Amino acid sequence: MSEVKTKFINDPEQITAELLEGYVLAYPDQVKLAAENIVVRATPKSEDKVAIVTLGGSGHEPALSGFVGDGMLDCSVVGDVFAAPGAQRLFQALQLMKREAGILLVVLNHSGDVMSANMACQLAERVGIKVKQVLTHDDISAGIGADDTDRRGLAGCVPLYKILGAAADEGKSLDELVEIAERYNQKVATLAVAMRSCSHPQNGATIADLPLGMMEIGMGQHGEGGSGGQKPLVSADETAVEMVDLLCQQLQPKAGDKMLLIINGVGATTHMELNIIYRKAHLELQARGMEVVFGRIQEILTVQEQAGFQMIAAILDEDHIDYLKNKASNAPYWTTIGK
C-alpha cells in the first residue's frame, strides 16, 4: 500500500465516516445520519408515502448522499470507497424505512450493489417489509443496443432520484413509481469520457492509466476501461458532437422530442470546460430537431481527481418534466424551488 500524497485526508480507513460527518454537520436542516453510513432526511416525510432509497460506495461525492432531502431521496446507504455497502447495512436501512406504502430501492447496475440489494430485499420480504427494486443501466459504452444487464449504472440515476422523490411526494403508489422509473430507464443514456487518471484514496493506486494528451470515451466511474479505446485528445466541440451522436444512436430521438441534457464533471475538469462542452451538446441536439427542456452543468457524481465528464441525455415524458422542473427539493446538491 503506497502512501497517498495528493489528497487532504487523515486515516484512510476513516474517509467514509469523516466525509459523512462533515456533510451532515454542514447541512443539518436537510440531512442527518440515522446510523453508521446511513444518511436520511433531517425531517422524515409522512409514512403514507413510498420511501425512495439508494445505495453505493463513497468516493463519488456529492453522489449519492448529496441527493437526500425533501422532494428527493429519503435515504442513502453508503459503502466504503468505491465499494458497495454490505447487505447487513442495507437491511438495517430497509428496517428503518419500513412503511405500509413500501420502499423503492434504486440500484445502480454494478455487481456488488446488485448483490447486496438482492440479499437485503430477500431478507426484508421475509420479515414483512414491502420493497421493490429498480435497476439503472444508463451507460452505453458496452455498445449501442447492448443488453441491459451489460450496461453499468452511471450518473443517469440522479435525475431519476428527483423524478421519483417528487412523484412519491405526490402520493404515487409503489407500482406506479416502478412504472415511472422503468419508463425513464428505457430512455436515458450516459456516456463518460476520461482524460487524466486518478488515484484510489485509500491505497494511492492509480486508477486507469491515461497518458498526457489522450482521452478515452466510455470509461466507467471506477476508471474501468470502456469499449472506445484511447485516442488523442480533440476539441470540446468535436468531443461533444461525437458523444451526442453516440447517445442519439442509442436513444433514437425524433424531431420534437423533449430532452434532458446534463454535463456531469467527474472531478478535475473545470466548470469552464463543462460549460463549453454543454454549449455544443445542446446546440447539436437542437440542430437535430430536439428540444432540450431540462439542462444542467454540475458535478453530481465524481471519480476523485479524474479529468473528464459524463454526458447524460434522456427523452422525457410530460410527467418526468413536471417532476424535474416544477417540484421543489432541498437536497443539498439538488436544491430547487420548483415552479
- Which one of the listed residues 60, 110, 200, 320 is annotated catalytic? 60
The neighbouring-strand residues paired with 329 are 336
Q: Whose Cβ is closer to another protein: residue 153's or residue 159's? A: 153
Q: Which stretch binds another protein (CB under 8 A): 122-130, 179-187, 268-276, 287-295?
A: 122-130
Nearest distance from residue 115's CB to another protein, in Å?
6
Nearest distance from residue 135's CB to another protein, in Å?
13
The yes-or-no answer on residue 222 being catalytic is yes
**86 lines the binding site for another protein (CB under 8 A):** yes
Beta-sheet strand order (sheet of 38-41): 31-35, 38-41, 75-81, 51-58, 103-108, 131-136
Q: Which three cell numbers stand for residue 294?
A: 431540462
**Hey, is 47 helix, strand or coil?**
coil
Q: Which stretch binds another protein (CB under 8 A): 6-14, 84-92, 253-261, 312-320?
A: 84-92
**123 lines the binding site for another protein (CB under 8 A):** yes
Q: CA 113, CA 34: separation in Å to the nearest integer? A: 20
- Contact set for another protein, span 91-120 (CB under 8 A): 91, 111-112, 115-116, 118-119
Q: Which stretch binds another protein (CB under 8 A): 18-26, 35-43, 83-91, 136-144?
A: 83-91
Check if the beta carbon of residue 105 is closer than 8 Å to that of residue 155.
no
Q: CA 182, CA 127: separation in Å to the nearest integer? A: 27
Q: Whose Cβ is closer to another protein: residue 137's or residue 282's? A: 137
Nearest distance from residue 97's CB to another protein, in Å?
17
Q: Concatenated DSSP letters for 265-333?
A: E-SSS-HHHHHHHHHHHHHHHHHTT-EEEEEEEE-SS-BTB-EEEEEEEEEPPHHHHHHHHSS-EEETT
What angle do helix axes 111-126 and 87-97 make, rounded to 10 degrees? 50
Q: Whose Cβ is closer to another protein: residue 30's or residue 116's? A: 116
Residue 263's nearest CA partner among 181, 187, 159, 335 is 159
**190 lines the binding site for another protein (CB under 8 A):** no
The catalytic site residues sit at 60, 222
List residues near another protein by CB under 8 A. Answer: 84, 86-88, 91, 111-112, 115-116, 118-119, 122-123, 126
